[in-house]
Structure 1
């Protein structure tokens, strides 16, 4: 009965249903009511507003209104205390999160925003780059790995480059030596005029873009669909130092590549020989120099033919013998022209 009554009269003692109000009021006025009168309103028994008459169980007597009021006030008091407890917990949590926020802000210098921000997706990366371009006032430094620059890659950031040129911002770009052979890059540099200075190296670090030495962008995954925006002064200063050291080692784009001093071996083949001596596989060498694996293997084959090596092991020995296992040594005598090593008729390594 209790379950059925609760479904028919879902309320508390602070607000009775109409039927319950009528029966309880009659019980208060008369002192008691027959149990049969309360059958339609079992909530009165469930809420202890009526209880059996000890002298006659067929009758129900009312709980005094004063007791009901005390019970209601006690319930309200308990609810207020519970609400105060929840508010206290919320205030404590707020203070804890606020403390975390202060710690996070401490990582950044005042006014510089988030020290490290993850940019997920090309649209967010482009938006952040455009924002940095708008704020840039004097200098942009970039490292562009890979080989020959495709037209699409050059066009992607052309609007930013033209915007910077219009404000007199100077730009310095580092590429691999392979990029020299791309007509798209030459066209881009001709368009930009003396605003851009370009230099090349055998190999460079991964992509890096620095604006005014205050904000840097680097890839955050191999697919380059995520990037890191860095504003922490120590991190940015470190990347600027890396760039400047690479820049001093690099050759101006208009300067010829140095001669290897060994007839029949090009500058690129010397670079490949040095990486082979370090034990790198073809795919790693190709990636670091910005060439395809197929081109890399063709150069290795020519190295083998020139040095007369019949195996990779023998090629490593020949590379060390002629001094190709590292950068050119200042003051070291150049190898004799038309280098000849016994048994060089052996087939080249493919």
Structure 2
């Protein structure tokens, strides 16, 4: 019974904490009236029986046991009590700061490692400017090929100088077992220089096909890197090393390859019925879309004169007297059906 009476008085500090998160033994976040009244009485009387002292007063070290009178407690000036009350909190803050500095130092070591590794990696995208720079990058990329080179070449026949350079490079790759697949536009089938190049590389194992339209030039080396135009400027290219982008370009090429018509080595008409039909369909669709002869020529890889000749023949066949009428008649004639 005596021990029960010596316990500190219960106060309202815990209930009055604004966030309700106070734990037993923690100093109160704000004093209650009972604690203020008890401290006032202690200051006036010099001491108080232990059972009248609120728990928050002992937690704040504002009341301490009276050594001369067991069972009593004496008041302590707030300035003196602050050292004992705040010291544990300040030590906890210092400990947290030490832990913070240690964690930062540990992360810094990993940041250095991360930066070192990525400095050794090639950038995912690299802009190449100038014919010489592009040529060196292509040579280095192709020289490192292990399995396959995919190439899409828009436009018609290629310049003879470019074909001579390509022939030396491509035959070298084919001799070391590299698979080479190239998609041209159908119009190369009437270009003697390009056909001579195709005949030589095909004899060495290259695979060549043609389509009515090839959207843009692309070279994919294995699944490691690719080269695409950076802009419409002739000597601006982009080297792509990002794995996802390279895979996308390779899949896009493979889809075009599946639609393309093979170029056979044996002597045959320059344009098979399939190729002729494919070319005509592309031209007629462009007419329906309202494209000019110049735009069609660029996209199909054909001269403007050849495009105009196609237009003339179709106009005669359908009895058209104007370009607008021709587009309407083509769209309604069923020529593009199927």
TM (norm. structure 2) is 0.60
Alignment match, 1:32: none
CA distance in 2, matches of 1:166, 1:117: 30
CA distance in 2, matches of 1:191, 1:249: 24
How big is the alpha-carbon RMSD for the aligned residues of Structure 1 and Structure 2? 2.6
Question: 2:224 matched to 1:214?
Answer: yes
Q: 1:279 aligns with which of 290, 302, 310?
A: 290
1:5-32 Cα distance to aligned partner (Å, 9 max, x none): xxxxxxxxxxxxxxxxxxxxxxxxxxxx
1:293-323 Cα distance to aligned partner (Å, 9 max, x none): 2221221122111111011222122212322
1:168–1:195: 8 Å Cα contact kept in structure 2? no
Cα gap change, 1:103/1:304 in structure 2, threshold over 3 Å: closer, same or farther?
farther
Alignment match, 1:291: 302
1:198-256 Cα distance to aligned partner (Å, 9 max, x none): 11110012111111121101111323211111000011011011101101111111396
Cα gap change, 1:185/1:259 in structure 2, threshold over 3 Å: closer, same or farther?
closer
1:252-276 Cα distance to aligned partner (Å, 9 max, x none): 113964459xxxx965333211111
Unmatched runs of 5 consecutive residues or more in structure 2: 1-107
1:144–1:173: 8 Å Cα contact kept in structure 2? yes
How many Å apart are 1:132 and its aligned residue? 0.9
Alignment match, 1:130: 139
Question: 2:177 matched to 1:168?
Answer: yes
Question: 2:192 matched to 1:179?
Answer: no
1:143–1:173: 8 Å Cα contact kept in structure 2? yes
2:174–2:204: 8 Å Cα contact kept in structure 1? no
Question: 2:161 matched to 1:152?
Answer: yes
CA distance in 1, matches of 2:237, 2:229: 4
How many Å apart are 1:103 and its aligned residue? 11
Q: 1:239 aligns with which of 228, 236, 249?
A: 249
Alignment match, 2:280: 269
Cα gap change, 1:224/1:168 in structure 2, threshold over 3 Å: closer, same or farther?
same
1:137–1:167: 8 Å Cα contact kept in structure 2? no
CA distance in 1, matches of 2:155, 2:247: 24
CA distance in 2, matches of 1:194, 1:129: 21
2:218–2:227: 8 Å Cα contact kept in structure 1? yes
Alignment match, 1:313: 324
How many Å apart are 1:119 and its aligned residue? 0.9
Look up the SS of the partner of 1:168 in the other structure: coil
Question: 2:128 matched to 1:119?
Answer: yes
Count of residues paired in the alignment = 222
How many Å apart are 1:154 and its aligned residue? 1.0
Alignment match, 2:258: 248
Look up the SS of the partner of 2:295 in the other structure: helix
Cα gap change, 1:102/1:308 in structure 2, threshold over 3 Å: closer, same or farther?
farther
2:188–2:195: 8 Å Cα contact kept in structure 1? no
Look up the SS of the partner of 1:284 in the other structure: helix
1:143–1:175: 8 Å Cα contact kept in structure 2? yes
Runs of 4+ in 1 over 6 A off after TM superposition: none
Alignment match, 1:24: none
Q: 2:211 aligns with which of 188, 196, 201?
A: 201
* Pair member with larger Rg: 2
2:183–2:257: 8 Å Cα contact kept in structure 1? yes
